[in-house]
Amino acid sequence: MPLTTNTILICAGGACISAGEKSVKDAFEEELRKYGLDEVVRVIETGCMGACTLGPIAVIYPESVFYQKLTPDVAREIVEEHILKGRIVEKYLYKASEGKPVPRVHEEVPFFKKQVRIVTRNLGVIDPTKIEEYIARDGYFALAKALQMKPEDVIKEIKDSGLRGRGGAGFPTGLKWELAARQKAEKKFVVCNADEGDPGAFMDRSVLEGDPHAVIEGMAIAAYAIGAQKGFVYVRAEYPLAIERLNIALNQAREYGFLGGNIMGTDFSFDIEIRIGAGAFVCGEETALMASIEGERGQPKVKPPYPVEKGLWGYPTVINNVETLANVPWIIRNGAKEFRKYGTENSPGTKVFALAGKVKNTGLVEVPMGITLRELIYEIGGGIAGDKKLKAIQTGGPSGGCIPAEYVDTPVDFESLQKLGAIMGSGGMIVMDEDDCMVDVARFFLEFTVEESCGKCTPCREGTKKMLEILEKITSGEGTEEDIEELEKLAHVVKDTSLCGLGQTAPNPVLSTLRYFRDEYLAHVKEKRCPSKKCKALISYVIDPEKCVGCTACARVCPVQCISGQVRQPHVIDQAECVRCGSCIEVCRFGAISKVTPALPVEEAVE
Amino acid sequence: MAKVKSLEELMKIKEQALKDLQLRGETGKRGKITVAMGTCGIAAGAKETLKAIVEALNEYNINDIAVVQSGCMGLCEVEPTVEVRLEGQEPVIYGRVTPENAKRIVKMHILEGRVVEDLVVKRGEA
């Protein structure tokens, strides 16, 4: 055993890497070398720890002290103070609401305490590039156990657990396996769908980066259950780190004999290949995904036949999402009954969410199903940033909808969210405050689906485009009430007649905002007013002459030089020239600049 | 790496790997040994002491004790100093802990639960 006194776990999830994790790690290692401590202190990069707003993060064991917002300089100071002298450096600890530093966040801070970690149990705990650490945390014991069971008993266990697909639609996983197992075919396949494409969602990436073996083990168990010999992980090219760690993990699993021929001394053989997607959102749709794996253009086909009947190259294929598969080893190891202790009757277990938007603690969280949106946003998420008012919660990305604030006590499960016109989705959750315009949000998501529509079927190709044009007309202040009706009609047509899930769900952001925020649409078309003061065509920036002290800060920052005025005299904005970039409002220290809606008529504003 | 052929073999790998993980302090810590590693301590040979402690713990297969370093405890004249703090017992500070003494401390205090009287500098909370 190596000589080790301290272990520094550094979060190497995507967010922390972007925040400078690499340079922090280098600083730790360099400083440890300087003090001759590099042999007794281990530095390990782990998967995402979840608290992405606080990154880069490091946890130092054995004391399990949590340091946040690290820089190379801070890292050097921590080595000198904490590692060398054994003193916790308080100023870099997480601060609780009263400003009190908290060294051990996992026990004390609601963001961590309220989570239930099944899928993310190893994230931030183990080194994802070491299979031994996964084994130390009971890794591959589920596979060993499954191999001693009959395939139908494995399926029964998953069925009993009530596990439902975490990719968004929530189809019962055990049933899917059973349907595939029933098929008589010379070949069968298991596919892991890691083509995570919703804007702002990163659950699957984090799991692949932080605990790739859990997905591999889940796939091997699925393969044993249905009688497959070969598996594919379909992962998007934009996830290079996930691909790298998955490759390392696959090789290790082969070395240990968890993949390959005669797994663990049985006559079950199975291996996995990675297929890299070229960044098309539609390839997350299972028939398009299969076409892409087969080397065809990534376009969906009509279902049925379903993949469990005729999948890859016409053979029965089970396609499960990353998070679904990562649940499997836990369920086999602990049993369906244990799994059902979490979540609700119809939605057992947990769900991982990528919490984003106007919430204080953005990041990756795993919560039991049935938790209310309120608990998720206010307790785990820490409430709305800037203490503004919650307006809506967007779930399910471009396929989902906006849930207005009055439904904040809704439990998070498949049925409850669907009832509100939103969906569980893959786990993207964007929190919106009073500054977010719902029409603009609908426009944003539709812009995304228009771009990502594959173009095969007319309703999706043409319909979403037309819908986007109407939304752009409304946000630019030229919409009419008839446009809203037309938009709604079109939305229903696209929803009902599109070929695949992309088109069928693309109108959801529009339909849900129309359902709950129709008054905002009406304000845009009738009064030419954007209540959130977001749509540029409907607002003006004005300077309050009473408050303006003539400091010239705004005039200097204006990119189009449309602000004029003498030093120490109130300034004015030339509305005809103003591009509404908002730079002036950010630099004004006197609160003299504000937005008004509807926009001022240009003639009046010019003095 | 030989392929894993049975549950027993998997269990063996787990046990080995778990020891490594436990060192991080996630599970059942019975207590910790703190080695004072200020300049004075290091000059007096605290690095060798630290090494000897970890080796001794390995030798006796003890994995529920954390080994940490600290700064100077202020007892520079009796360096290297080591504090043994076991769950539910008063802490003991030992002085002049050479590698040989370190091994005695691990064997007697950690393994057998007897304080090494001749090396004690201080007992109880500071």
Whole-number Å distance between alpha carbons of A285 and A302: 11
- The pLDDT confidence band at residue B85, using thresholds 50, 70 and 90, is confident
Q: What's the average model confidence in pLDDT over A349-376?
A: 94
Q: Retrieve residue A458's tokens.
A: 């007319």
Amino acid at A256: Y
A9 close to B (CB below 8 A): yes
pLDDT at B62: 82
Whole-number Å distance between alpha carbons of B7 and B15: 12
Instruction: Name the minimum distance, in Å, from the CA of B119 to any CA of chain A.
Output: 23
What is the bridge-based pairing of β-strands A572-573 and A593-596?
unpaired
Whole-number Å distance between alpha carbons of A123 and A210: 5
A12: nearest Cα among A32, A1, A30, A26: A26
Q: Tell me which residue in A40, A83, A126 faces B50 most closely, judged by beta carbons.
A: A40
pLDDT at A433: 95
Q: Tell me which residue in A3, A62, A133 faces B66 most closely, judged by beta carbons.
A: A62
CA closest to A81 among chain B residues = B71
Whole-number Å distance between alpha carbons of A140 and B12: 13
Q: Would the pLDDT of A340 be above 60?
A: yes
A87 close to B (CB below 8 A): yes
A182: nearest Cα among A319, A268, A308, A314: A308
A85: nearest Cα among B36, B87, B42, B2: B36
Q: Retrieve residue A201's tokens.
A: 């969602």
pLDDT tens-digit readout, A367-410: 999 999 999 999 999 899 887 999 999 999 999 999 999 999 99
Q: What value does the mean pLDDT of chain A take?
A: 93
Whole-number Å distance between alpha carbons of A268 and A252: 18
Q: What's the average model confidence in pLDDT over A228-240?
A: 95
- The pLDDT confidence band at residue B89, using thresholds 50, 70 and 90, is confident
A201: nearest Cα among A434, A423, A511, A521: A423
Q: Would the pLDDT of A1 be above 60?
A: no
B contacts of A148 (beta carbons < 8 Å)? 7
A487: nearest Cα among A531, A529, A528, A446: A446
Whole-number Å distance between alpha carbons of A5 and A78: 15
B contacts of A87 (beta carbons < 8 Å)? 70-71
Q: Retrieve residue A156's tokens.
A: 């029964």
B contacts of A260 (beta carbons < 8 Å)? 3
Residue A169: count other Cβ atoms within 10 Å of its Cβ: 17
Residue A275, beta-bridge partner list? A234
Surface of A (255-294) touching B: CB under 8 A: 255-258, 260, 264-265
A contacts of B24 (beta carbons < 8 Å)? 7, 9, 61-62
Q: Tell me which residue in A64, A255, A265 faces B1 most closely, judged by beta carbons.
A: A255
Domain borders along chain B are 28-121
A contacts of B54 (beta carbons < 8 Å)? 3-5, 40
Which residue reads 């994802």 in tokens?
A128
**DSSP designation for B35:** E
Instruction: Name the minimum distance, in Å, from the CA of A255 to any CA of chain B.
Output: 6
pLDDT at B28: 43
- Between residues A140 and A4, which one has the greater pLDDT? A140
Domain B28-121 has CATH 3.40.30.10: yes
Residue A350, beta-bridge partner list? A368
Contact A258 B69 (CB under 8 A): no
CA closest to A87 among chain B residues = B70
The answer to whether A562 touches A580, Cβ cutoff 8 Å, is: no
Surface of A (144-173) touching B: CB under 8 A: 144, 148
A contacts of B6 (beta carbons < 8 Å)? 264-265
Start-to-end Cα distance in chain A: 80
Instruction: Name the minimum distance, in Å, from the CA of A88 to any CA of chain B.
Output: 10
- The pLDDT confidence band at residue B18, using thresholds 50, 70 and 90, is confident
User: What strand order describes the sheet that includes A41-46?
Assistant: A41-46, A6-11, A58-61, A65-67
Start-to-end Cα distance in chain B: 50
Amino acid at A191: V
Cis bond before residue A305 (omega within 30° of 0): yes
Q: Tell me which residue in A36, A63, A126 faces B25 most closely, judged by beta carbons.
A: A63
Q: Would the pLDDT of A243 be above 50?
A: yes
Instruction: Name the minimum distance, in Å, from the CA of B120 to any CA of chain A.
Output: 22
Whole-number Å distance between alpha carbons of A493 and A140: 48
Q: Can you spell out the DSSP letters for A113-159?
A: HT---STTTTTTTS-TT-HHHHHHTTTTHHHHHHHTS-HHHHHHHHH
Q: Tell me which residue in B5, B25, B58 faces A62 most closely, judged by beta carbons.
A: B25
A302 close to B (CB below 8 A): no
pLDDT tens-digit readout, A402-434: 999 999 999 999 999 999 989 998 999 999 999
Which range has the worst mean pLDDT, A332-341, A450-459, A533-542, B89-98? Answer: B89-98
What is the bridge-based pairing of β-strands B31-36 and B65-70?
parallel
**DSSP designation for A53:** G
A231: nearest Cα among A261, A282, A274, A194: A274
A contacts of B25 (beta carbons < 8 Å)? 7, 61-64
Contact B3 A255 (CB under 8 A): yes
A66: left (phi over 0), alpha (psi -120 to 50) or beta: beta
Contact B24 A265 (CB under 8 A): no
A122 close to B (CB below 8 A): no
- Best A5, A7, A34, A121 member to test B by mutation, with max B CBs in 10 Å, is A5
pLDDT tens-digit readout, A23-76: 999 999 999 998 888 877 889 999 898 888 888 999 988 778 899 999 999 999
- Between residues A77 and B19, which one has the greater pLDDT? A77
pLDDT at A607: 46
pLDDT at B22: 65
Q: Would the pLDDT of B61 be above 90?
A: no
- Between residues A477 and B87, which one has the greater pLDDT? A477
Which range has the worst mean pLDDT, A119-123, A506-510, B14-18? Answer: B14-18
Q: How many helices and strands in chain A, by DSSP H and E? A: 27, 19
pLDDT tens-digit readout, A290-321: 999 999 999 999 999 999 999 999 999 999 99
Which range has the worst mean pLDDT, A312-321, A355-364, A584-593, B117-126? Answer: B117-126
A361 close to B (CB below 8 A): no
Phi, psi angle pair for A116, to nearest 5°: -120, 115
CA closest to B7 among chain A residues = A144
pLDDT tens-digit readout, A80-102: 888 887 788 988 998 876 677 77
Q: What share of chain A in percent tops pLDDT 70?
A: 98
Amino acid at A349: G
Torsion over CA of A66, A67, A72 and A74, rounded to 10 degrees? Answer: -130
Contact B14 A2 (CB under 8 A): no
pLDDT tens-digit readout, A572-604: 999 999 999 999 999 999 999 999 999 998 865
A contacts of B34 (beta carbons < 8 Å)? 86
Handedness of CA A466, A471, A472, A473 (dihedral sign): positive
Q: Tell me which residue in A5, A257, A260 faces B50 most closely, judged by beta carbons.
A: A5
Q: What value does the mean pLDDT of chain B take?
A: 84
A contacts of B32 (beta carbons < 8 Å)? 62
